[in-house]
Structure 1
Amino acid sequence: MPARRAPLFTLTLFLGAALLFLIQLVFARMVLPLLGGAPAVWNTAMVFYQAVLLAGYGYAHWLTSRAGRKWQLGIHALVLVAGLACLPFAVPANAAPPGESNPVPWLIGVLAIAVGLPFFAVSATSPVLQHWFSKTGHPDADDPYFLYAASNAGSLAGLLGYPLLVEPHLTLGNQAWWWMAGYALLALGVMSCGWRSAGGPEPAGVGRERITGRRRLRWVLCALVPSSLMLSVTSYLSSEIAAVPLLWVLPLALFLATFMVVFARRPVIPHRIAKRALPLVLVGVVMVLAIGATTPMSMLAALHLLGFFIAALVCHGELAKDRPGAASLTEFYFWMSLGGVLGGAFNALLAPVIFDRVLEYPLMLVAAAWLGLSSGKAGWRDLAWAAVPMVLALALVKPLGLTAAFGGAAVACFLLSRHGARFALGLAGVLLVAGFTVEKGSRVLLTERSFFGIHRVEDDGRLRRLFHGKTIHGLQDTARPQVPLSYYHPEGPLGQIFAAGVAGPVGAVGLGAGALAAYGKPGQVIDFYEIDPAVARIAADPRYFSYLSGSPAKVSTILGDARLMLAKAPDARYELLVLDAYGSDSVPVHLLTREALQLYLRKLAPGGRIAFQVSNLHLNLRPVVASLAHEAGLVCLAGDDEEVTDEEVAAGRFPSRWMIVARRAGDFGALPQKGNWEAVEGDTASPLWTDDHSSILPLLDFRLR
């Protein structure tokens, strides 16, 4: 019976979409260590995957419009077999990223070699199967788009299932083998669907309804804006609101959920309701952007995510409302995929070059308002009305302050929301005014955006700070320039380590502003290992920080991933290794594995020590270091200065947690008597991270603080 074919198609589509997301996550987990765990790695990988998805959709359109039914089945079987020949996937041997140049071309090349073909084969599955379903004679065959909702449900299952179920229980090697088994099962399901649909009528040709260039352009734009907005809100939340690991999962999950809603047979949120909600949430988001609000974190994060969800829901709802008949299904998906590629490329490739901050976020909020609420036309009268909120903000900001001024402007924007063009232009005007009027407590000396994030140097007249997004990565007192501050304060744990005696060479993973160089002595060697060339330039420039230039030691900065660069250093070189790379939202897991510790020990001189800075708002890394030390037979101490007063924080001393390991207790010297240090015993229940198996999920504290 034709009606029985729907479950087979639905389950096959669900499996294909889950595999599509799992391969992205598994391979990202494999390649992230080579690039220091930078969030831009994921954005760049997303652009690659979207481009291959576009190629897959283009192939699906060609296949279903140019080849007969039997040829379609045979050709697609060959494509699936070719993908199987590349499995199980892995990072190519001897793959090493460039140390000083932009790693984007290298990363795209690695992705293409390792997972390009199987990803292409799976990506074509959804449109091909939906086209085949439209020829089955099923009662819903003339409108098979509900299967796209099932496909996105599979994507969501893969996205959430990986950190919750797959990563904690399987090694990376096993993950790749299980993915290959799922791929083989998918190939069988696809072939079965092809045979089940073979008895239906042959396609009568694509393009029964006339599709104009204007309509195609709108499809592209309605897909481009949510794609860009997803990456934009992720960057903004992680840099300005809350540096929480795995935060990128939430916008991506909401993005997939909007597709499930709008392409369902009966959407749980009707399109008209989403359009009515859009002005209200956008006004709220624009207001907090305009006043530069960053607290309370939990409420602001929820507002930004809600704004993104409604905006994506409206844009994707416009796509679903304007979908063509089944005969043009594959063409529709092609143009929609093109929009996704362009949105991702704009954020990952173009925005970091043309913007020094996350300006793509407000830009896409305005674009969402325009697409979702306007007819696409605006006259002089619309421009005049749209100027009202901007003029109001300018008039009120000086006498009443930021909150009142932009609150009034937000209300004025909302009153214009019945006219979509006026509303969108009004939001743009308010955001433009905000860019020139937001008050800052410090003077911004430099803002620089690199592949690894946005860096900002601020000066409040005494303390100079280096920010990476929201996280302070360096601090210097201009009145006492050679006194190390923040987590490196002389009275803190690291100061106690140096006070216990460090005369030989020092290696430091993570440069920041270079405060550790202030501990250097004449003739002493200090090697900094830093992955971000922008950080190296800022720390070396005495106009911003003078720790490096003012140090009496012989200081050098080695660019590239720390493990790759340390491997090239002479064995037994360092008396002290300091690892400070765990303070932000992107934790470089590969620097805390069994294999990493083995490398550190090779580079450690007899009697040497390894110090780990494990301060992190959202992760408890102490059990990880303790397990590594216990398994390697090392002695481990933990020290902290958590009782730092508010006055001390204002003066530049930050509370911090440190751990130090050595081969023998005697290697610590007088350190145990110098501060709040305690011996740490290994716990067999604690996680032991390896290059092949690790998960930060058990260590997470999801509270936004």
Structure 2
Amino acid sequence: MALLFTITLFVSAALLFWIQPLIAKTLLPILGGTPAVWNTCMLFFQGVLLGGYAYVLAGVRLLGVRRQAALHVALLLLAALFVPATLSAFATQPSIAGDNPTFHLLWFLLKTIGLPFFVLSATAPLLQKWFAAIPHPSARDPYFLYAASNAGSLLALLSFPLLLEPNLRVSEQGRMWAALYAVLGLLVAACAIALWRDGKKATEEEPVSARDAEGQNAFTGTTDQDEAITTMRRVRWTMLAFVPSSLVLGVTTYISTDIAAVPLLWVIPLALYLLTFVIAFAKRQYIPRRVSSRALAAAALVVVLVYASGATEPAWILVLAHLIFFFVAALVCHTRLAEERPPVKDLAEFYLWVAVGGALGGVFNALVAPALFDTVLEYPLMIVLACALRPRDESAEVDARARLFDLLLPVGVGALAAALGVLVMQFEIGNVGRIMLVIGVPLMLINHFLTKRPMRFALGLAAVMIGSLVYTAGSGRTLARERNFYGTLRVTESGSGAFHRLQHGSTIHGRQFVDEERRCEPLSYFHRTGPLGAVFDVFNARRPASNVAIVGLGTGATVAYARPNQQWTFYEINPAVIEIARDPRLFTYLRDCHANAPVEVVLGDARLQLQNAPPRHYGLIVLDAFSSDAVPAHLLTKEALDIYLSKLAEGGLIAFHVSSRSLNLHRVVAGLAQSANLSALVFDDGEHDPINGKEPSQWVTVARRAEDLGDLNIDPRWQPLDKEARPSVWRDDFSNIISVFRW
């Protein structure tokens, strides 16, 4: 009997967490490839999960276990009518533009996948309730089924990017998912029959203590399970679920923003999140509380050093640091949650409050934080809060004097960080040395004096992050900040006052001279002495057509290459970018530098908006649609290339900006060019000239014929793309980030 319930829960959880990355990946092309797609989907999933748990709690109380079993089987059959077998509805949605398409996306998810997901989300806690009503040796403590459920979720998440996505198209996965849903229906029906046949007449078990329950977790010898369920206990459950939920979205946004918005980078944090549940709710305690608490303190010190310093390289080490911290923080919270779980009779309510905490994490990150903060402040806030939830060291003081020092010592450490930040600017010290003095020294003091008391430690970390702002402020005055669904934008003035710079996430997206005489010089990755300058030289010399399309507006710097007889069209999905580029207090390229050429800015996703252009309309298409340091993967697929080629005039050129700290994107373009039998050259320009505003950049230019590339063929800086070790051709339903990652 236990095996039947275990298999059913495993399949249910696998379906639940298979559909999440599958749907989000399918939605990426209509939402600009932004990491917020995943955060919004997670908000939806967490909200429906909460609804499912509320349904379980209310159903058991109003109907009893037996009658709710009949209701659930009926709902499972009804939901089968709404299962999207091919997911084609997702791929054919119209463009969604504007500052905040979050609610449009939530409504679309609700009406397409809402009912099946609701039924699946309720299945895990409900089956555990059914099992508890069956005469079985393990029925008095069915929490081991929770671990089995999370194991199924974990397997599905890891299988998606490693096995399913590389080998199956989205439509094929949709059909497989629908078939497995039918299998689940049979399994749930079998569980219901077992309940009706063998279930006890009473629907509630007597409370069982932590010591007496068979198969009980061996965390402590306490009787936490027998405590009355007070308001404060519910608050603790909610908070211990809220912090990891917010952290998983925060760390996912961090990774996706600077690498790519792809399922592989979504599922790693979520898989770690579920793994901590598996470990915390297992029958044995694999990681002692004291070990995980100390590991959290160490990981927090490292991640605060990385975060406060603004480090961006090497990417894999930084990503690893954030993931390790997240894993340990989630483990500490979920272990405390497992220790406080109630007896079987209150199981449904326990899961409900855990779901409330998870949903609040999604609401906070996807809705509240973007409305309240113009930077990604929610992530460091959750770092601090997670550290505050650490178990207190048994040797720590607990008197009033200690509580006073919980406030005074962090203030002192923060003041020290600020003072050191001012001091280092007076001396010629390398950047690494400055970081170690301003951030490293205060963190060493925290490690030595503040770790025993969680609140003192957490406030100390917050003080260092705040105090170190004095140091980072020395890099330039902030002129404007914008945050919306598509990310965080910041415009700064350089320390010398010579430039204005646009920054998205951690990456510079363009700059402009303040000096009027040089204001119309294209800078950064678009410098006249760089790859794009050479591309425009060839284009203007051959002139296959006078129309130019630029995917990605940025500061508008590329318009400085315009000629009077040309027609320029920019495609930009982010309204905030358009506002910044058109604000003459920030940048004036669009106002002053277009050489009287007509310039149009089209709001919306480039792939969808380009389809409205006439066939073979553009002589040059420039792809520069970055999200922080990553190109949205859906702009580098075969389907995307087909659109570009359909709009490219005979003899025209397509220029791909493929600069990335983390990915070898030129290899992706190489695969696309080879599959379409195109000629392609790459220019890896490593020159960095900060005085003249030039950044290193890498560009790939492709054309239908080699002769269309003109003088690029004889320019030694332009080289043929490496024909060896090319990755598979990316498609809308296939991408392989690992194959192009810079290790």
* TM > 0.5 fold call: yes
Contact 1:228–1:347, Cα closer than 8 Å, also in 2: yes
| 1:30 equivalent in alignment to 2:26 | yes
Partner of 2:409: 388
Asked whether 1:465 is paired with 2:501, we answer yes
Deviation of the 1:483 alpha carbon: 1.9
Q: Which amino acid counterpart does residue 513 of structure 1 have in structure 2?
A: T
Q: 1:202 to 1:65 in 2, by over 3 A?
A: farther
- Cα distance change of structure 1 residues 549 and 264 upon mapping to structure 2, 3 Å threshold: same
CA distance in 2 between counterparts of 1:158 and 1:313 reads 20
Match of 1:695 among 718, 721, 735: 735
Deviations 1:477-499 (A, max 9, x none): 33422222232222323212211
The equivalent residue for 1:672 is 713
1: CA distance between counterparts of 2:667 and 2:47? 40
| Offset, 1:372 | 3.2
Query: Structure 1: how far apart are the matches of 2:569 and 2:387?
Result: 51
Matched residue SS, 1:658? strand
Aligned to 2:623: 579
Please, which moves more after superposition, 289-298 or 597-606?
A: 289-298
Q: 1:580 to 1:206 in 2, by over 3 A?
A: farther
| Residues 622/92 of structure 1: CA separation in 2 closer, same or farther (3 Å cut) | closer
- Which residue identity lines up with residue 454 of structure 1 in the other structure? T
Partner residue of 1:220 out of 230, 235, 238: 238
* 2:522 maps to 1:476: no
Of 552, 555, 562, 2:606 maps to 562
Deviation (angstroms), 1:529: 0.2
In the alignment, is the contact (CA less than 8 A) between 2:76 and 2:119 conserved in 1?
Answer: yes
Aligned equivalents of 1:474, 1:491: Cα separation in 2: 16
Tell whether 2:682 aligns with 1:639: yes
Q: Is the Cα–Cα contact under 8 Å of residues 488 and 495 in structure 1 kept in the other structure?
A: yes
- Write the distance in 1 (CA, Å) between the matches of 2:314 and 2:681: 32
Structure 1's 90 and 332: CA in aligned 2 closer, same or farther, altered over 3 A?
A: farther
Distance in 1, Cα, partners of 2:638 & 2:316: 35
Using the TM superposition, give the Cα deviation of residue 346 of structure 1 relative to its aligned residue in structure 2, in angstroms. Answer: 0.4
CA–CA distance in structure 2, aligned partners of residues 295 and 600 of structure 1:
33
* 1:606 aligned onto 2:606: no
How far apart, in 1, do the equivalents of 2:440 and 2:91 lie?
56
166-175 or 593-602: which moved more?
A: 593-602
Q: How does 1:52-67 map to 2 (within 5 A)?
A: 52-67=48-63
How many angstroms apart in 2 are the aligned matches of 1:407 and 1:690? 44
CA contact (8 A) 1:388 1:412 kept: no
Contact map agreement 1:511 1:528 (CA 8 A) in 2: yes
Which residue of structure 2 aligns with residue 494 of structure 1? 532
Q: Distance in 2 between matches of 1:409 and 1:319?
A: 32
Q: SS of the counterpart of 2:555?
A: coil
Q: 1:658 aligns with which of 670, 675, 699?
A: 699
Q: CA deviation at 1:39?
A: 0.3
Match in the other structure for 1:141: 139
State the partner residue of 2:148: 150
Q: Is the 8 A contact 2:657 2:700 kept in 1?
A: yes
- Could you say if the C-alpha distance between residues 427 and 383 of structure 1 is closer, same or farther in structure 2, counting changes exceeding 3 Å? farther
Q: CA deviation at 1:368?
A: 2.0
**1:201 matches 2:207:** no
State the Cα distance separating 1:111 from its structure 2 match. 1.0
CA deviation map 1:351-398 (0-9, x unaligned):
1111122211222222223333369x9968614442123224414643
Identical-residue share of aligned pairs (%): 45
| 1:694 aligned partner, one-letter code | F
The alpha-carbon deviation at position 405 of structure 1 amounts to: 5.7
In 1, distance between residues paired with 2:663 and 2:488? 22
Per-residue CA shift, 1:151-193, capped at 9, x if unaligned?
1111111111111100111111101001111111122222222
- 8 Å CA contact 1:69–1:202 kept in 2: the answer is no
How many residue pairs match? The answer is 693
Partner secondary structure for residue 293 of structure 2: helix
The 3 A distance-change label for structure 1 pair 211 and 359 is same
Corresponding residue number in structure 1 for 2:488? 454
Query: Is contact 1:583–1:616 with CA below 8 Å preserved after alignment?
Result: no
User: Helix, strand or coil for the counterpart of 1:661?
Assistant: strand
Cα distance change on mapping 1:227 and 1:498 into 2, 3 Å:
same
Structure 2: how far apart are the matches of 1:138 and 1:595? 55
AA matched with 1:443? R
Question: Does the alignment pair 1:510 with 2:552?
Answer: yes
Tell whether the 8 Å contact from 1:507 to 1:578 is kept in structure 2 after alignment.
yes
2:222 is the alignment partner of 1:184: no
Structure 1 match to 2:17: 21
SS of the residue corresponding to residue 7 of structure 1 reads: helix
- Conserved? CA contact 2:99–2:576, under 8 Å: no
* Paired residues of 1:508 and 1:527 also in contact (CA < 8 A): yes
Residue 632 (structure 1) shift: 4.1
**Which of 142, 157, 160 is the aligned partner of 2:158?**
160
**TM-aligned CA deviation for residue 572 of structure 1:** 3.1
Question: Contact 1:207/1:328 (CA < 8 Å) preserved in 2?
Answer: no
Q: TM-score, normalised by structure 2?
A: 0.86
Partner of residue 342 from structure 1, selected from 329, 346, 360: 360
- Number of the residue aligned with 2:127: 129
Q: Please point out which of 354, 365, 380 is paired with 2:383.
A: 365
Cα distance in 2 for residues equivalent to 1:615 and 1:292: 19
1:695 partner SS: coil
State the Cα deviation string for residues 311-366 of structure 1 (Å, max 9, x = none): 21111111111101111111110110010000111011111111122211222222
C-alpha contact 1:626 1:680 (8 A) present in aligned 2 = yes
In structure 2, give the amino acid aligned to 1:639. V
CA distance in 2, matches of 1:52, 1:226: 18
Cα displacement (A) at 1:288: 4.6
The answer on whether the counterparts of 1:86 and 1:118 sit within 8 Å (CA) in structure 2 is yes
SS at match of 1:689: coil
Residue 251 to residue 378, structure 1, CA distance change in 2 (3 Å): farther
What SS class does the counterpart of residue 268 from structure 1 fall into? Answer: coil
Structure 2: gaps spanning 5 or more residues? 208-225, 425-434
Instruction: Determine the C-alpha separation between the residues in 2 that align with 1:573 and 1:378.
Output: 76
Report Cα offsets for 1:645-694 as digits up to 9, x if no partner. Answer: 44x46643334333333344444444423453455698998523333x32
Give the 5 Å matches for 1:293-442. Answer: 293-294=311-312, 297-373=315-391, 382-395=403-416, 397-398=418-419, 403-404=436-437, 406-407=439-440, 409-414=442-447, 415-436=449-470, 438-442=472-476
Gaps of 5+ in 1: none
Q: CA deviation at 1:594?
A: 3.2
Could you tell me the TM-score, scaled by structure 1's length?
0.90
With 477-486 and 275-284 compared, the bigger mean Cα shift is at 275-284
Displacement of 1:583 after TM fit? 7.2
- Cα pair 1:38 1:586 within 8 Å, conserved: no
Inter-partner Cα distance in structure 1 for 2:37 and 2:22: 13
What is the rounded CA distance, in whole Å, between the counterparts of 1:130 and 1:17 in structure 2? 13
Which sits farther off after the overlay, 34-43 or 446-455?
Answer: 446-455
Query: Distance in 2 between the 1:289 and 1:668 partners?
Result: 43
Partner of 1:233: 251
Change (3 A) 1:420 1:613: closer
CA contact (8 A) 2:124 2:146 kept: yes
Task: Give the distance between the partners of 1:590 and 1:396, measured in 2 at CA.
Answer: 43
Distance 1:668 1:310, change over 3 A: closer
